[in-house]
Amino acid sequence: MAPSRAVYTTVRAALRHSVSLSSPYLHHRRLISAYGYEQAKVLALSSLGEPKDVLHLHSHSIAPPHSDLLTLRFLASPINPADINQIQGVYPTRLAFGTSLGTTEPIAVGGNEGVAEVIAKGGGVQGLEKGDWVIMKNQGFGTWRTHAQTKAEEVVLVKGEDREGLRPEQVGTVSVNPMTAWRMLRDFVSLKEGEWFVQNGANSGVGRAAIQLGKLWGYKSLNILRKRESGMEELKADLTSLGADAVVTDEEFEAKDFRDRVKELTNGGREPIRLGLNCVGGPLVGSMAKHLAAGAHVVTYGAMSKKPVKLPTGLLIFKDIHFDGFWVSKWSDANPGEKETCIKEVLKLTREGNFKDVPMSPVTWNHDTKQDELVSAVQGTLEGFRSGKGIFVFGNT
Ligand SMILES: NC(=O)c1ccc[n+]([C@@H]2O[C@H](COP(=O)([O-])OP(=O)(O)OC[C@H]3O[C@@H](n4cnc5c(N)ncnc54)[C@H](OP(=O)(O)O)[C@@H]3O)[C@@H](O)[C@H]2O)c1
């Protein structure tokens, strides 16, 4: 239900005399009109391409919610590699372009993951109150925005007791990477305590989650990192502190004598490696598979090197190694109940200090933050050897 032109004019005038309200959660200042209209900004695109070429800030107003609608104020929204692929148009889930945010040409809002606070609700909304924190039920929400209005059925409540003591950055990054690690460790092979999994991209968000969950469940992890010019030992120590049993560079892993190291680690094969996790691709995957026990599985969930996986056929014929893929979006859509259980459990582990979130590079998004700052944070996600995951943290929006 779009407001009339006269209402827009009144709202614009009212917004010039905005008042600030205080939040019990973040002590932020909110710009809100005398008529209850929220002034929102979104990081949007009208055509697919490189983020730096296509992303722009768009402002619009949000009317007070009615019936089953909620008005949300975003708290934290990460910038995940898949978000970039979506903007580039090379991801299976397409962005939803439309004109509902008052533009003449269709636009889409970037971002799929995040946490928001309910700031107003329509009369028909049950089970959600002002001040509640919610995460998105499905991919494709468009989370790089200060505010949104949506149907209550599109979000999942993060109960007060589940989020107690946690920062928005921790809650806003729980539904993709930890979930992916969880399912891959559990759904392809029943690893026994003391058995191993091997993974590349071990310092990624998923990799870090896999190390920690694996440790909690009694699995040992052999972790492969891309060799870097500096900070290698620090990174190895960082993953070891998360619970990694062995951390090596790709160069060390590919060395001829690494077979001896595997023998030593696996107690002569008595504690076999029965699972491989791959987010890199390329020849490294074939090398990983060579160290696996017969009948093991390699689960591919990313392709960061953009190189195809090459395999010696003997591994398929004589060792019966299985190659699988995992996509959390598909799994989450098919298993909404289990998704909620996993989220609750990871938040509990985080609260108890048994699960550390990834290193982050927060980008504060205030009402007056410039477009260039936001866009370059998104573009920067494509660079390797990063010190932390980019995440928009919303301030006095
Ligand atoms: N299938 C699914 O359901 C699912 C779910 C979540 C994530 N993913 C995918 O998993 C991957 C990791 O996601 P994330 O959020 O965990 O990422 P992240 O925290 O941003 O980490 C990126 C990882 O990729 C590595 N990397 C970057 N460029 C590389 C290159 N050219 N060659 C080799 N490695 C490279 C990085 O290593 P350096 O530090 O050495 O650069 C780092 O380990 C992405 O491909 C993402 O799309 C898939």
CATH number of the domain that residue 201 is part of: 3.40.50.720
Minimum-distance ligand 1 atom for the alpha carbon of 381: 20
Ligand 1 centroid – CA 204 distance (Å)? 5
Is 349 inside any structural domain? no
| Confidence (pLDDT) at 10 | 38
Ligand 1 touching residue 176 (CB < 6 A): yes
Q: Give Cα separations from 383 to 51, 115, 144, 380 (angstroms).
A: 13, 25, 20, 6
- Three-class DSSP category at 375: helix
- Decide: 75 and 115 in contact? Cβ < 8 Å: yes
How far from the centroid of its chain's Cα atoms is residue 171's Cα? 10
Ligand 1 touching residue 205 (CB < 6 A): yes
Write out the residue range of the structural domain in which residue 46 sits. 5-173+357-394
What distance in Å separates the CA atoms of residue 78 and residue 173, rounded to the nearest whole number?
Answer: 7
183/325 same-domain check: yes
Joined together, the tokens standing for residue 313 give 């056929």
Ligand 1 touching residue 284 (CB < 6 A): no
Ligand 1 centroid – CA 198 distance (Å)? 16
198/300 same-domain check: yes
Q: What is the pLDDT of residues 352-397, one digit of tens each?
A: 999 999 999 999 999 999 999 999 999 998 889 999 999 999 996 5
Ligand 1 centroid – CA 384 distance (Å)? 9
CB-count exposure of residue 314 (10 Å: 0-12, 13-18, 19+): exposed
26/59 same-domain check: yes
Number of domains in the chain: 2
Is 98 inside any structural domain? yes
| Confidence (pLDDT) at 257 | 95
Rounded (10°) angle between helices 177-187 and 205-216: 50
Q: What is the pLDDT of residues 224-249, one digit of tens each?
A: 999 999 999 999 999 999 999 999 99
20/136 same-domain check: yes
208/303 same-domain check: yes
Ligand 1 touching residue 328 (CB < 6 A): yes
Ligand 1 centroid – CA 374 distance (Å)? 21
Minimum-distance ligand 1 atom for the alpha carbon of 327: 3
| Confidence (pLDDT) at 16 | 37
DSSP letters, 238-266, are HHHHHT-SEEEEHHHHHSTTHHHHHHHHT
Amino acid identity of residue 186, one-letter, is R
Is 345 inside any structural domain? no
Say which residue the tokens 């599985």 belong to. Answer: 297
| Confidence (pLDDT) at 12 | 42
- Decide: 36 and 64 in contact? Cβ < 8 Å: yes
CATH of the domain at 132: 3.90.180.10
DSSP annotation of 201 = S
What distance in Å separates the CA atoms of residue 339 and residue 294, rounded to the nearest whole number?
Answer: 31
Best residue among 179, 180, 200, 206 to mutate for probing ligand 1's pocket (most ligand atoms within 8 Å of CB) is 206
8 counts as catalytic = no
What distance in Å separates the CA atoms of residue 299 and residue 307, rounded to the nearest whole number?
Answer: 16
CB-count exposure of residue 229 (10 Å: 0-12, 13-18, 19+): exposed
Residue ranges of the chain with per-residue pLDDT less than 70: 1-34, 396-397
165/189 same-domain check: no
| Confidence (pLDDT) at 35 | 72
